[in-house]
Structure 1
Amino acid sequence: MSIEQTLADHGITLPEPAAPVASYVPAVESGGFLYISGQISMNPDGSLVTGTLGDDVSLEDGIAAAQRCGVMLIAQMKKALGSLDRVERIVKLGGFVNSTADFTDQPKVVNGASDLMQLAFGDAGKHARSAVGVNTLPLGVAVEIDAIVKVRS
């Protein structure tokens, strides 16, 4: 079964990859790896998931926002590589969670993206990771996640 079919079976369709909002490119392939710029939390309709965990965004909504970042990461992989079959391994995710000083569940939030990678890519979706709390993110979004992916030539 294809990765896109697996996602579709779980009600997830890949959107058109988001364009950069500043002076950078969405992804760079170099030395057998694909480095994907941070993808921000966007709803399927393109609206932003904004707010602060520990204040006006619930843990459940934060997890869903991280999953949406993961969906956009996969969409960027497909666009950059031409086919998701070129993904050999998700190596690392870097998660940034807009959160209050006393919010400490950043790892649970970023699980939204981590769990999606394992769902989509199986064992090749298991990865190293960071989950960091920050006091603000671009455009006021709740979550931003970047990735390093090992690719087949």
Structure 2
Amino acid sequence: MAGKIDAHLAELGIEIPAATAPAANYVPYVKTGNLVFISGQVPFVDGKLTYQGKVGKDFKTEDGVACARICALNILSQVKDACGGDLDRVVRCVKLSGFVNCIDGFGEQPTVINGASDLMVEVFGDKGRHARFAVGTNALPMNVAVEIDAVFEIN
């Protein structure tokens, strides 16, 4: 029955943004079989890039967590588009891959990416529990603080 996840989102006060078009020569997601592969999402809010800089220098860990949550909201927008607007079709969040633009010696990448992981569980419950990795890097496109891609199983 369509609408259970949308009703849950409303209860949580979470709004999923509209899916955006890719910024280069790629597609925002690919469906193959029952899997949807979501291209890396960055912290766009209302068409504007946020959180540009390095975690550990320009941002604290908790700012990185907030940035990861924005990336996860953008992931959900692409999943919703891939599901024809019906998030009830999500069987499971399979995997998140998280990249944190950070200074040398920063070791809290898992905490930062928890901003995305926690949102998936908040929205989907046990279906939101996933495999993942969280790594640090010296740079990300457009100098964003976080980029995350994802894999979902849908019906």
TM-score range, shorter chain: over 0.9
With normalisation by structure 2, the TM-score equals 0.93
The 1-side partners of 2:11 and 2:139 are apart by: 34
The 2-side partners of 1:106 and 1:25 are apart by: 27
How do 1:1-153 residues align onto structure 2 when only pairs under 5 Å count? 2-44=4-46, 46-82=48-84, 83-152=86-155
Structure 2 unaligned spans of 5+: none
- Counterparts in 2 of 1:71 and 1:19: CA distance versus 1, 3 Å: same
The 2-side partners of 1:15 and 1:131 are apart by: 24
Structure 1 ranges of 4+ moved more than 2 A: 4-11, 42-48
The 1-side partners of 2:144 and 2:117 are apart by: 19
The 1-side partners of 2:29 and 2:47 are apart by: 23
Deviation at residue 32 of structure 1 after TM alignment? 1.1
Q: Residue type of the partner of 1:4?
A: D
The 2-side partners of 1:4 and 1:85 are apart by: 8
- Asked if the contact 1:86/1:151 (under 8 Å) is kept, the reply is yes
Report percent identity of matched pairs: 49
The 1-side partners of 2:124 and 2:61 are apart by: 25
Q: Please state whether the residue corresponding to 2:48 is helix, strand or coil.
A: coil
Structure 1 unaligned spans of 5+: none
- Asked if the contact 1:42/1:65 (under 8 Å) is kept, the reply is no
Q: Residue type of the partner of 1:88?
A: V
Q: Please state whether the residue corresponding to 1:69 is helix, strand or coil.
A: helix
- Asked if the contact 1:4/1:13 (under 8 Å) is kept, the reply is no
With normalisation by structure 1, the TM-score equals 0.94
The size of the alignment, in residue pairs, is 152
Q: Residue type of the partner of 2:33?
A: G
- Asked if the contact 1:90/1:127 (under 8 Å) is kept, the reply is yes
Q: Residue type of the partner of 1:134?
A: T
